[in-house]
Homo-oligomer: A and B are copies of this chain.
Amino acid sequence: MSKDNINPYTDLAIESRDLAVERTGGEVKGVKVDEQTIDHAKITRIEVMNKQAAEALGKKPGHYITIHSDKLRENNRQIHEYLSGVMAAELNQLVDYNSLAKTFDQEPTILVIGLGNWNATPDALGPRVIHNLLVTRHLYDSSPEDVRDGMRPVCALAPGVLGLTGIETAEILKGVIDRVDPDLVVAVDSLVAKEAKHLNATIQISNTGIYPGSGLGKQRLGITKEDMEVPVIALGIPTVVNSVTIVNDTIDELMENRGLSNTNLQQELGQVNNQQKQQLIKRILQPYLGDLVVTPKGIDELIRDVGRIVAGGLNVAFHPDIKKEDVSLYLQ
């Protein structure tokens, strides 16, 4: 979650795409977008098809699925269970379990990684999901065959963050993955959005991996298929927008003259260089800049709720015998 404050920074492919469309006035070449509206949610499937498109969007080539639902913010368990099911179905569109297993008669072993800092509420999504997840790998071999048929071996780790461990998160994971040898890694993390409307209202699933933490300036390991040598699904929910972004956006809106009668204003502000403006904002937001986050008031409860929704979705996705309507019964 702690990406540098590149402006306007966003972890969401859907926002990157919207920005690019806005900038260029049309769909970016090499970007395929599919939108679907279902009950309580809108699903957007974006494929970044080549390097050029990746550069235009600032997102690696691959698939990005966004499930947007304001119901993620409401305290309605029934709809939460439903959204777990939606998430499971979308996740499983990106995973071919049969091809992952090491041998023909084996189920693939899945390692779920809960990224983020359990001591910083908006960053605690990953650890919360691990807390609620059904972990089965240690029981799998000793289970009767008919039980085993309906489940897959799942293991889990919440490695902490650099400030807590003194170790790069990806280093910890590389060590554990080398030893445990999973067939699929699913990495869950809190994300940064550009627009407040996406906060706690969007689940993003991608098959492109993730780079945790802000780094120390050196080239680092990614939690990616290349570095981890195992397929990686990244799954996240935006929980903060940074303060520079939100101020910048509001000023942009003002510049677009929403309701301002003074027609000159727009022109004047339009002449201010964009970079100049952002530097100004940064200077003004000092001395706290970069350390201020904008987050929903009820973030503690929201994290608890979406932690349950995501864990429930993973349980349904991984274990064929867990039915969508029973999702609550398997939450830990």
Question: A residues touching B (Cβ–Cβ < 8 Å)?
Answer: 70, 75-78, 119-121, 130, 135-139, 142, 153-160, 162-168, 171-172, 174-180, 196-197, 199, 216, 243, 246-247, 249-251, 253-254, 258-260, 262, 264-265, 268-269, 271-272, 276-277, 279-281, 283-285, 287-288, 290-301, 326, 328-332
| Among candidates B250, B265, B290, residue contacting A269 with C-beta atoms closer than 8 Å | B265
A-B pairs with lowest CB-CB distance, top 8: A175-B179, A155-B166, A137-B166, A175-B175, A77-B329, A135-B166, A175-B176, A253-B284
Report the Cα distance A165→B164, complex, angstroms: 19
- Chain B residue contacts of A121, Cβ below 8 A: 121, 299-300
- Chain B residue contacts of A153, Cβ below 8 A: 166
Contact A167 B175 (CB under 8 A): no
Report the Cα distance A297→B326, complex, angstroms: 28
| Among candidates B165, B180, B281, B331, residue contacting A175 with C-beta atoms closer than 8 Å | B180
Report the Cα distance A262→B276, complex, angstroms: 12
Given A179-B174, A199-B288, A268-B265, A160 and B163 touching (CB < 8 A)?
Answer: no
Report the Cα distance A253→B175, complex, angstroms: 49
Q: Shortest CB–CB separation between residue A115 and chain B, in angstroms?
A: 15
Looking across the interface, which residue of chain B has its beta carbon closest to that of A117? B300
Contact B137 A155 (CB under 8 A): no
Report the Cα distance A157→B259, complex, angstroms: 47
Contact B300 A296 (CB under 8 A): no
Q: Shortest CB–CB separation between residue A250 and chain B, in angstroms?
A: 5
Contact B176 A177 (CB under 8 A): no
Contact A299 B135 (CB under 8 A): no
Contact B196 A285 (CB under 8 A): yes
Report the Cα distance A138→B218, complex, angstroms: 13
Contact B138 A167 (CB under 8 A): yes
Report the Cα distance A287→B159, complex, angstroms: 35
| Among candidates B76, B165, B300, residue contacting A156 with C-beta atoms closer than 8 Å | B165
- Chain B residue contacts of A138, Cβ below 8 A: 162-163, 166-168, 216
Q: Shortest CB–CB separation between residue A322 and chain B, in angstroms?
A: 12
Q: Shortest CB–CB separation between residue A325 and chain B, in angstroms?
A: 11
Contact B296 A295 (CB under 8 A): no
Contact A119 B329 (CB under 8 A): no
Q: Shortest CB–CB separation between residue A315 and chain B, in angstroms?
A: 12
Looking across the interface, which residue of chain B has its beta carbon closest to that of A268? B265
Report the Cα distance A250→B281, complex, angstroms: 7
Contact A120 B297 (CB under 8 A): yes
Q: Shortest CB–CB separation between residue A154 and chain B, in angstroms?
A: 6
Contact A280 B254 (CB under 8 A): yes
Report the Cα distance A295→B291, complex, angstroms: 8
Report the Cα distance A297→B163, complex, angstroms: 13
Given A166-B135, A294-B294, A328-B77, A177 and B175 touching (CB < 8 A)?
Answer: yes
